[in-house]
């Protein structure tokens, strides 16, 4: 309820989502210990004794990008994991966690699926919580009644998306950017596909995607190395044996610009402009990150906020970001403004982007961004929750273990020329997708569908 009561001055503007990783400034980066369990599962561990609690995060190569011809299958599988396992009902499993105050959750994104457990670290409580997690890893039952119910709930969630202009814009945008690539469809799929899913498909998906070959374990908390190894081995030992999956196909660049207008009963136009950006391991990650910080990634310090909000009062939230994924994720600029101002706003966003690609930032802007990013590092890793999410991402994306230690130097080394070159290389203003949701007209301009392998 609390969130509903608060009115934040800013929306979620220009965020690099879960992949924000920053270097330490005045203190050493947390020591990430890494090993592989006898079952072959990689483990990333940071010891943190100051609170009597443990965070466990497992990632699996079981995201919606693995849906294949059945969009929504990964999501449904993920939501069914805790709906009955190893002979225990959903209620019994939940009691096992909640009777000891532990918190379990699971979720699915495009690149991965996660299971997360937060528990007090004393032996009895932790053991009870881990017992439930091990059952879920070992043998989800996918009961028929739960399958039908969760499928129906997913169908309803898909319908609910259609009453949110932001969600409608997202769906149209991702579809236009990614064409036939598996990043194109929403994580929860579409009504036709989900309506046709069967329990056997869920079982088969689970069998292939939740195994020792697709898993990663991240641990943060009041454990010593010996305890952490035993815990990880127990969890890995609960998983079926399996193989790693082939890499996802690369994302192809767009070959033409497109404008998509979606009619919607709203007072505002929800605007998204963008194109495929970069994969997380792209060598231009740092210049693009620092550059975008200046363009639209740093809230009130950014150019887009200055142009759209501070100078003209056109929008509450305006941002840009790259979301680098295992393959190229989107670059996007976004905002909402009352319908009559939509076209003006689009013109301003496009002009800011073009100018930034052509001229890059000023030295002063770069110096400011550097100070903010370097000085703000400690804020990104100041809780066990942030730590466990970050080390899981480092492992999953294949970043080096000393990534945090070297990060500072790499940010500091970015020059104006690097930013100009990287933006010019990766962004092409002549092949942007523009989505506008809101208002009465449905139009589609542009001469081709996005092509993807």
Partner 1 sequence: MSLSGRLVSGALLWVACLLPVSAATPVVHEYRLENGLELRVLPDHRAPVVTSQVWYRVGSADEPGGSTGLSHALEHMMFKGTQTLPPGAFSRVIAEHGGRENAFTSRDYTAYFQTLAPEHLEIAFRLEADRMRSLKLDAGEFAREIEVIKEERRLRTEDDPEARLNELFQATAFVSNGYHHPVIGWMADLDHMRVEDLRAWYARHYAPNNAILVVVGDVEPQAVLGLAKKYFGALPSGELPSRRLRRDTAQDGERRVVLRAPAKLPSLLMGYKVPTLVEAPESWEPYALEVLSGVLDGGEAARFANRLVRTGLAAGAGAGYDPMAREGGLFILGGTPSEGVEPLKLEQALRGEIERLRNEPVDPAELSRVKAQVLAQDIFGRDSNFYQAMRIGIAETVGLGAASLDAYLAGIEAVTREQVQAVARKYLIDDHLTVARLDPLPMDVSARPVASAQGGTFHAR
Q: Which is nearer to partner 1, 102 or 397 (CB)?
A: 102
Q: Which residues pair with 115 in a beta bridge?
A: 58, 106
CA 220 to chain centre: 20
Residue 152 interacting with partner 1 (CB under 8 A): yes
Report the candidate in 253, 224, 260 with the shortest Cα–Cα distance to residue 436.
260
28 binds partner 1, rule: CB under 8 A: no
Pick from 31, 34, 153, 451 the residue near partner 1 by CB under 8 A: 153
CB of residue 300 to partner 1, shortest distance in Å: 4
Q: Does 257 bind partner 1 (CB under 8 A)?
A: no
The three state secondary structure string of 306-327 is HHHHHCCCCCCCEEEEECCECC
Instruction: Give whichever of 97 and 173 is closer to partner 1, judged by the CB atom.
Output: 97
The interface with partner 1 within residues 64-93 (CB under 8 A) comprises: 82, 90-91, 93
Of 368 and 421, CB closest to partner 1: 368
Which lies closer to partner 1 via its Cβ, residue 41 or residue 54? 54
Tell me the closest approach of the beta carbon of residue 30 to partner 1, in angstroms: 9
In sequence order, the 6+-apart residues with CB closer than 8 A to the CB of 410 are: 23, 286
Report the C-alpha gap between 266 and 97 in whole angstroms: 42
Hey, what are 107's tokens?
């979720």
Strand partners, 118: 55, 103
The residue (of 149 and 208) whose beta carbon lies closer to partner 1 is 149
Asked whether position 100 contacts partner 1 by CB under 8 A, the answer is yes
| Measured torsion, CA atoms of residues 18, 23, 27, 33, in degrees rounded to the nearest 10 | 70
Minimum gap (Å) between residue 109 Cβ and partner 1: 21
Q: Scanning residues 370 to 389, which ones bind partner 1 (CB under 8 A)?
A: 371-379, 381-385
Shortest spacing between CB 121 and partner 1, in angstroms:
5
Rounded Cα gap, residues 129 and 133, in angstroms: 7
Size of the site for partner 1 (CB under 8 A): 92
Comparing CB distances to partner 1, the nearer of 181 and 380 is 380
Stretch that binds partner 1, among 107-115, 116-124, 187-195, 394-402 (CB under 8 A): 116-124
By CB under 8 A, name the one of 12, 38, 68, 103 that touches partner 1. 103
Among 46, 222, 419, 432, contact with partner 1 (rule: CB under 8 A): 222
CB of 6 to partner 1, least distance (A): 4
d(CA 393, CA 213): 17
Token pair belonging to 25: 């400034």
Closest CA to 421 of 328, 274, 250, 291: 291
Which residue number, 255 or 382, has a Cβ lying nearer to partner 1? Answer: 382
Residues 409-438 that bind partner 1 (CB under 8 A): none
Q: Among residues 263, 350, 401, 446, which is the contact residue for partner 1, using CB under 8 A?
A: 263
How near is the Cβ of 65 to partner 1 at its closest, in Å? 26
Q: Please state, in angstroms and as integers, the Cα–Cα distance from residue 61 to each residue in 261, 286, 298, following that order.
A: 35, 26, 31
Smallest distance, partner 1 to C-beta of residue 275, A: 25
Cα 267 to Cα 161, 264, 319, distances in angstroms: 18, 9, 20
Q: Provide the β-strand partners of residue 264.
A: 439
Cβ at position 210, least distance to partner 1 in Å: 20
Shortest CB 149 distance to partner 1, Å: 5
**DSSP string of 380-449, one letter each residue:** HTSSHHHHHHHHHHHHHHT--TTHHHHHHHHHHT--HHHHHHHHHHH--GGG-EEEEE-BS--EEESSSP
Q: Cα-Cα-Cα-Cα dihedral of 401, 239, 131, 63, to 10°?
A: 70
Question: Mask: binding to partner 1, 338-357, rule CB under 8 A, as x and -?
Answer: x-------------------
N residues, the chain: 453
Of 243, 311, 417, 444, the one binding partner 1 (CB under 8 A) is 311
Q: Is 199 in the site for partner 1 (CB under 8 A)?
A: no
> Which of the residues 118 through 147 are near partner 1 (CB under 8 A)?
118-123, 125, 146
Please enumerate in sequence order all residues whose Cβ is within 8 A of that of 68, keeping only pairs 6 or more positions apart, or say none: 182
């Amino acid at each position: 309820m609390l969130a509903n009561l608060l009115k934040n001055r800013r929306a979620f503007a220009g965020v690099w989502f879960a992949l924000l990783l920053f270097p330490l400034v005045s203190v050493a980066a947390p020591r990430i210990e890494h090993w592989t369990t006898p079952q072959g599962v990689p483990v990333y561990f940071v010891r943190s004794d100051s609170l009597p609690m443990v965070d466990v995060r497992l990632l699996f190569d079981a995201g919606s990008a693995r849906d294949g011809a059945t969009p929504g299958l990964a999501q449904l599988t993920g939501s069914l994991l805790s709906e009955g396992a190893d002979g225990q009902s959903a209620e019994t499993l939940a009691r096992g966690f909640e009777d000891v105050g532990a918190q379990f959750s699971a979720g699915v994104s495009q690149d991965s699926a996660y299971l997360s457990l937060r528990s007090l670290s004393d032996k009895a409580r932790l053991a009870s919580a881990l017992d439930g997690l091990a059952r879920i890893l070992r043998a989800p039952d996918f009961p028929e009644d739960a399958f039908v119910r969760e499928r129906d709930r997913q169908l309803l969630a898909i319908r609910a998306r259609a009453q949110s202009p932001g969600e409608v814009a997202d769906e149209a945008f991702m579809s236009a950017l990614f064409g036939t690539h598996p990043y194109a469809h929403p994580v929860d799929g579409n009504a036709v596909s989900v309506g046709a899913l069967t329990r056997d498909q869920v079982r088969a998906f689970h069998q292939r995607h939740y195994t020792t070959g697709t898993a990663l374990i991240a641990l943060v908390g009041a454990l010593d190395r010996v305890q952490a190894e035993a815990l990880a081995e127990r969890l890995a030992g609960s998983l079926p044996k399996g193989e790693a999956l082939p890499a996802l196909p690369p994302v192809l660049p767009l070959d033409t610009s497109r404008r998509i207008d979606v009619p919607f009963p709203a007072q505002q136009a929800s605007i998204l402009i963008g194109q495929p950006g970069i994969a997380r391991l792209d060598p231009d990650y740092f210049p693009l990150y620092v550059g975008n910080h200046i363009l639209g990634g740093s809230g009130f310090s950014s150019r887009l906020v200055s142009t759209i909000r501070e100078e003209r009062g056109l929008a509450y939230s305006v941002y840009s970001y790259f979301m680098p994924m295992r393959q190229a994720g989107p670059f996007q600029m976004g905002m909402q403004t009352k319908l009559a101002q939509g076209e003006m706003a689009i013109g301003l966003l496009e002009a800011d982007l073009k100018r930034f690609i052509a001229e890059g930032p000023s030295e002063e802007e770069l110096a400011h961004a550097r100070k903010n990013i370097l000085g703000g590092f400690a804020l990104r890793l100041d809780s066990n929750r942030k730590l466990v999410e970050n080390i899981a991402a480092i492992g999953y994306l294949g970043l080096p273990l000393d990534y945090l230690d070297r990060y500072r130097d790499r940010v500091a080394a970015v020059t104006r020329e690097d930013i100009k070159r990287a933006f010019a290389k990766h962004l092409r203003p002549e092949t942007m997708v523009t989505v506008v949701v809101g208002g009465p007209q449905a139009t589609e301009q542009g001469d081709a569908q996005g092509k993807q392998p």
